[in-house]
């Protein structure tokens, strides 16, 4: 069975639009668990545009499934992870101006620094994962630096439009997943997945875990809109019947 980790970052994005307390990413995480999610993912970005430091603590304490913390390989984030101790840390590259994570981590060019971070994570009892593009060199480097797992970036696959290009990218993902599993890395995948494109990724047998966020939060808005408006109309009617 392939595990689904639901990323609740964009529940925090809506909350941060007003800098208030609703909607709560923890409440959304608990509902995701109720529906069968096997884990929760959050990305604490350097600019704190959605998830805040307190969210990491509150979600870590409040959920019943493992917490996967995505973060950039910086000293600030490493210290925070060692303090909060999520089940797993996934290192991602981060650029301040990007709208979302734009590509995989270049493991090859920073093996020494990443090895050190991995060692500190392992000493703290935290699993250590790397978000990489489907590239044999990055897979081999991930093994050299003793990562427990890789998360293959499916972003490019989800953005391509031509069938031939999609097929080629899927083959790259398959090959990287196969190679990684062969050399003893656990294989995860994510980015840009939706109800349709996830099917071809879920068909790759080596992939054990998927991280999906934006699409699920978007669908939740549609699914929840009717209930929320019905509730509001009920409250308005109830209020109209009351005397001040």
In angstroms, the CA 213 to CA 232 distance is 27
Q: What angle do CA 109, 166, 222 make, to 5 degrees?
A: 100
79 vs 95 by CB, closer to ligand PXP: 95
Mark whether 70 is an active-site residue. Answer: yes
In angstroms, the CA 5 to CA 25 distance is 14
| Shortest CB 86 distance to ligand PXP, Å | 14
| Shortest CB 240 distance to ligand PXP, Å | 41
* CA 243 vs CA 115, 231, 234, 235, 238: distances in Å: 67, 20, 16, 14, 10
- Binding letters toward ligand PXP, positions 181-210, x by CB under 6 A: ---------xxxx-----------------
Which of 4, 8, 9, 117 is the binder for ligand PXP (CB under 6 A)? Answer: 9
The bridge status of strand 3-7 relative to strand 39-43 is parallel
| Shortest CB 21 distance to ligand PXP, Å | 22
**Assigned token pair, 96:** 């301040």
**List 10, 43, 206, 209, catalytic entry:** 43
Mark whether 214 is an active-site residue. Answer: no
The bridge status of strand 127-132 relative to strand 88-91 is parallel
Mark whether 43 is an active-site residue. Answer: yes
Residue 45: other Cβ atoms inside 10 A: 20
97 vs 243 by CB, closer to ligand PXP: 97
Residue 43 interacts with ligand PXP (CB under 6 A): yes or no: yes
Residue 5: other Cβ atoms inside 10 A: 26
Task: State yes or no: cis peptide before 182, omega within 30 of 0.
Answer: no
Residue 156 interacts with ligand PXP (CB under 6 A): yes or no: no
Residue 179 interacts with ligand PXP (CB under 6 A): yes or no: no
Positions that interact with ligand PXP (CB under 6 A): 7, 9, 43, 70, 90, 92, 100-101, 131, 151, 190-193, 211-215
**Catalytic residue numbers, as ranges:** 43, 70, 191
């Amino acid at each position: 069975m392939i595990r689904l980790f639901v990323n609740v970052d964009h529940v925090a994005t809506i909350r941060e639009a007003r800098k208030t307390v609703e909607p709560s990413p923890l409440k959304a995480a608990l509902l995701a668990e109720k529906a069968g999610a096997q884990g929760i993912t959050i990305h604490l970005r350097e600019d704190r545009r959605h998830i805040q430091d307190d969210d990491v603590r509150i979600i870590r304490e409040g959920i019943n499934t493992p917490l996967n913390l995505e973060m950039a390989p910086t000293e600030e984030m490493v210290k925070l992870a060692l303090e909060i101790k999520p089940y797993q840390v996934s290192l991602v590259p981060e650029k301040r101006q990007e709208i979302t994570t734009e590509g995989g981590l270049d493991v090859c060019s920073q093996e020494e620094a990443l090895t050190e971070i991995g060692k500190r994570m392992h000493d703290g009892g935290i699993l250590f994962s790397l978000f990489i593009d489907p590239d044999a060199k990055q897979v081999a480097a991930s093994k050299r630096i003793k990562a427990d797992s890789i998360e293959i970036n499916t972003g490019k696959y989800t953005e391509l439009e031509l069938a031939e290009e999609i097929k080629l990218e899927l083959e790259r993902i398959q090959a990287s997943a196969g190679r990684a599993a062969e050399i003893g890395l656990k294989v995860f995948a994510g980015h840009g997945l939706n109800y349709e494109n996830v099917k071809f990724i879920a068909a790759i047998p080596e992939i054990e875990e998927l991280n999906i966020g934006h699409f699920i939060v978007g669908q939740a808005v549609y699914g929840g809109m009717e209930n929320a408006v019905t509730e509001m109309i009920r409250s308005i009617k109830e209020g109209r019947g009351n005397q001040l």
